[in-house]
Structure 1
Amino acid sequence: MQATPPLPLFKRVPPGAWTILTWCAGMVFTFLTRTKLPGEWVPAEHPAAQFYRLDGLTALALSTVIVLVAGGLLSRRPLAGVALLIVAAIIATTTLGAGEIPLPQYLAVDIALYFIASTRTRRTGVVAITMALVVLAGYIATRMAYGWPAGISTELAVAMTAVIAWLLGNSVRQAHEYAEGLRATAAAQAVTAERLRIARELHDMVAHSIGVIALQAGAARRVIDTQPERARDALGDIETAGRETLSGLRRMLGALRQPEPGRPPEDAPLQPALGLADVERLAAATTDAGVRVDVRWRGERRALPADIDMSAYRIIQEAITNVVRHAGAASCEVSIGYEEDELFIEVLDSGRGGTGDDGFGLAGMRERVGLLHGTLSAEPRPEGGFRVAARLPVPAGVR
């Protein structure tokens, strides 16, 4: 058994941990930009007077502690976590002497926005991005109200990164919801297809069994006074057909039962699926009912895929049922040919040349053949009677 592959690193590390790592990376970048690195004449950013003082370092340490708390809250209370990250960014900015909240201090907020937008509801994501943008706008407005310098252009870039992070997360959430919708639709279609298959099986089985029972009952009624032994045999056949039909109905209806939530499905009595190996038994039962069925095999008989084997049997069963119920013929001929790349089925009768079909029998046969990419012909014969012929492709692996 193949082992389940491990989750990607991005999935294994919780969002709070990514946020804390991003904050630490931003703080390292902030220190590096305010330090004269090799090859530089002056630092990229001039540090404020309090940057290296105890009060400045204390503010940076306090903001880092707040980020640690926010990382723990992010998965349980995302909005509270984002609020604490914003507070930490503001506290850290006070030691930098900057006219705006720099991007390195806001990257942790961006990462949190991405995770919230991708994993939480749309409403929660909208509230989070609104908080982030309102605080940026309020920070600039406050500095301008006091006459302090404000880096509006830099803050616009910071706001744009926040919006981009939210958009990316929102796209991931929408893609996930779309995939979930596709899976739910596929599951519903699979259930519908299975129920349609069971409905076809019920129709084929019940229609054939009722036709045989009707013939046997009529035969028993005609000979019950003059030939009681034959009437007794006919009644026995009726009992057998009824029991088999009841067993099949119980099996199929059991498959349709839905288990209660939290309980396993009840086991339904299962029987091997019918196939071409059961055609002789079907022919014998129909012959006993009064319509002789001659089965002719052509070609080398070989194992077939289960869906082709069962569908071939059901097509023959439905065709014989139409002969019994509607054709008024005393006999019919079934031909089964194993050809190189397909299975050929033909059912001929010399009856009235009509099916009396209610729309379900032939439609069911056509649907079965269509699902197997085969062809079906069902039409009256010029010389009288009716002909049903089907060709079912056989996959190359089993030819």
Structure 2
Amino acid sequence: MSAITRSIRRIPPLAADLATALVVLAAHSAPFVLTVREADPVTGYTLGQYLPVLGLALPLVWRRRAPLAVLAAVMTATGAYLLNDPDTAPQPIPYALLVALYTVAAHGSPRTRTWALALLGCGAGIQLAGLVLNPPSADTTVRALVMYVAAWAMGRATANRHTYVLQLERDRQREAERAVERERAAIARDMHDVLGHAISLIVVQAEAGPLAVRPDPGRAEAAFDAIAETGREAMDQLRRLLGLLGSSSPGAPPTVARIEALVHSVDRAGQRATLTVHGTPRPLPADVEAAAYRVVQEALTNAVKHARASAVAVELDWRQDALMIGVTDGGRGHTGGSGYGLVGIRERAAACGGSASFGPGPGGRGFAVAVRLPGAAA
């Protein structure tokens, strides 16, 4: 949009309508100023001959607030102008009537436009009767018809464009609302993964710590150290997640390379966990890296929190066009919980073009999570 268009749109509607009325008044007054009445070159034109001109221009001040009433007033003034003294200054273009027609077509409701067409039909019938008595030239008739149709068409085009712009704005608003909802859902998934994983490990370590205080003080101390480290890592991730730290945040972003440390933290908490890697690791797009890490994190959380598994195995299979992730535990299957974590795994995979499936582990024991993520290098 140009600067001129933006400046015009900032003009108040009432000021614009007043300016339109003044311009039309000047245009209709020009013949009275620029021509001399041959019948009476001394006295010129009378006030009665000029009054219809005021009736043509002044109603346009209210053209947007009452388009149909303004059209009726302008048509009445136009008739009075045409029925005036034959020596009245000629006006070749009916500016006021064209503006009134444009306004009804652009700003009038469907009902208003219907009544306007009916009113124009009545006016055309009256004018047709007058043409029989005083037929105009063919070019005058054609010119008038073309101008009236053009004014109506321009008004409808303006109305359609205004409707289109409003629809675009509504679409943008809805898309912005959907983007906010998606962002909230992503934040909720991340917070669920971070807090769920950290709290699950803390609970397991806290339960094991008191049991080892007397028989194995070293193991108890390691458990409490692991609790502190898990809590610190969770806080770092939450700070990064909530944007409380800038880009210089010491908390590392979730990546495939950090999965090993994730598995090690579970193993250190007392739940035996192993990681197996097939193929050659390679850098992936940031969204795929984050999805891979969060998928493994949530699967490990489920194994620790719900399955009560004594062992869990994580497998990364680097294929030519995909990264296959498998997390299998030997617990009692997926029991308890709301299933929100599994929904999050599926949504994360789908968000970056992958897929996820769940089911019993080998031999019908335990629980298995299988995820396929696009493996194209970043």
Residue in 2 aligned with 1:273? 253
Q: 2:210 is aligned with what amino acid?
A: R
Partner of 1:286: 266
Structure 2 equivalent of residue 186 of structure 1: 175
Q: List aligned pairs for 1:1-399, cutoff 5 A.
A: 7=2, 55=44, 90=78, 105-106=95-96, 109=99, 113=103, 117=107, 161-249=150-238, 251-252=240-241, 254=242, 271=249, 272-383=252-363, 384-395=365-376, 398=377
Q: Return the alpha-carbon distance in structure 1 between the equivalents of residues 40 and 293 of structure 2.
A: 88
When residues 286 and 142 of structure 1 are mapped into structure 2, their CA distance, relative to the original with a 3 A threshold, is: same
1:310, distance to aligned residue in structure 2 (A): 0.5
Gaps of 5+ in 1: 1-5, 32-46, 256-266
Q: Give the superposition deviation at 1:236.
A: 2.4
Q: Is the 8 A contact 1:354 1:386 kept in 2?
A: yes
Distance across 2 between alignment mates of 1:184 and 1:284: 46
Moved more, 369-378 or 279-288: 369-378
Q: 1:223 to 1:169 in 2, by over 3 A?
A: same
Uncovered stretches (5+) of structure 2, i.e. residues with no partner: none
Secondary structure in structure 1 of the residue aligned to 2:327: strand
Q: Deviations over 1:86-110 (max 9, x none)?
A: 59x9598679979x98655347616
Report the alpha carbon displacement of residue 364 of structure 1 after superposing the two structures with TM: 1.2
Partner Cα separation in structure 1 for residue 8 and residue 354 of structure 2: 52
Spell out, residue by residue over 1:11-33, the C-alpha distance to the aligned partner (whole angstroms, 9 max, x if none): 7777969979x979x99xx99xx
**Aligned to 2:317, what secondary structure does the other structure show?**
strand
Whole-angstrom distance in 2 between the partners of 1:101 and 1:143: 19
- Partner SS for 2:186: helix
Match of 2:338, as an amino acid? Answer: D
Distance 1:219 1:137, change over 3 A: same
User: Could you tell me the percent identity over the aligned residues?
Assistant: 27
Displacement after TM superposition at 1:186 (Å): 0.3
Corresponding residue SS for 2:302? helix
Deviation (angstroms), 1:203:
1.2
Contact conserved, 2:74 with 2:97, CA < 8 A, in 1? no
Sort the Cα spacing of 1:134 and 1:48 in 2 relative to 1 into closer, same or farther, 3 A: farther
Q: What residue is the counterpart of 1:41 in the other structure? A: none
1:34-78 Cα shifts (integer Å, max 9, x gaps): xxxxxxxxxxxxx9977997957x999x979x98x999x89xx96
How far apart are the structure 2 equivalents of 1:95 and 1:51?
11
| Cα separation, partners in 2 of 1:191 and 1:53, compared to 1, 3 Å | farther
Cα deviation 1:327-364 (Å, max 9, x = unaligned): 33332221212221111111122233445452111111
For residue 166 of structure 1, give the secondary structure of its aligned residue in structure 2: helix
1:7/1:347 CA distance change after superposition, 3 Å: same
Deviation at 1:311, TM superposition (A): 0.6
- For the 8 Å contact 1:51–1:95, the answer to whether it is kept is no
Q: Which moved more, 1:192-201 or 1:341-350?
A: 341-350
d(CA) in 1 for partners of 2:342, 2:294: 11
Structure 2 length-normalised TM: 0.69
C-alpha separation in 1, matches of 2:256 and 2:307: 23
With over 3 angstroms needed to count, the CA separation of the structure-2 counterparts of 1:19 and 1:10, relative to structure 1, is: farther
Question: SS of the residue aligned with 1:300?
Answer: coil
Cα gap change, 1:282 to 1:50, in 2 (>3 Å): farther
Q: Distance in 1 between matches of 2:118 and 2:177?
A: 42
Separation in structure 2 between the aligned mates of residue 51 and residue 113 of structure 1, nearest angstrom: 38
Residue 172 of structure 1 aligns with an amino acid whose one-letter code is: R
Contact 2:298 2:341 in 1 (8 A): yes
